[in-house]
């Protein structure tokens, strides 16, 4: 588990979207480009939702610990 500020979480989502767009611009495969553009859009939607709830100063992010028995929380 790690702790991330709301602003850091939003920035992370935007970076992921930018990465998808960057790759989409370089690919010649139309199907891959469409998938990457869809992923970029999804990251931006997440960033928008995070922005709406940015009144929380800290967000706790956790991997699915239920699926990893024996791993401390």
pLDDT digits (tens, 9 = 90+) for 35-59: 999 999 999 999 999 888 876 555 5
Q: Does any domain span residue 72? A: no
Q: Does any domain span residue 73? A: no
Q: Does any domain span residue 51? A: yes
Number of folded domains that form the chain? 1
Decide if pLDDT at 22 tops 90: yes
Helix, strand or coil, per DSSP, at residue 35: helix
Q: Does any domain span residue 24? A: yes
Torsion of CA 24, 29, 35, 36, to 10 degrees: -10
Overall average pLDDT of the 1-13 stretch: 83
Q: What is the C-alpha separation between 71 and 18, in angstroms, rounded?
A: 33
Q: Does any domain span residue 17? A: yes
Boundaries of domain holding 55: 2-67
């Amino acid at each position: 588990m790690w702790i991330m500020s709301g602003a850091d979480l939003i920035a992370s989502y935007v970076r992921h979207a930018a990465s998808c767009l960057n790759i989409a611009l370089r690919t010649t495969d139309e199907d891959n480009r469409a998938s990457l553009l869809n992923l970029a859009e999804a990251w931006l939607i997440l960033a928008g939702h995070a922005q709406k709830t940015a009144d929380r100063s800290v967000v706790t992010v956790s991997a699915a610990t239920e699926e990893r028995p024996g791993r401390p929380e």
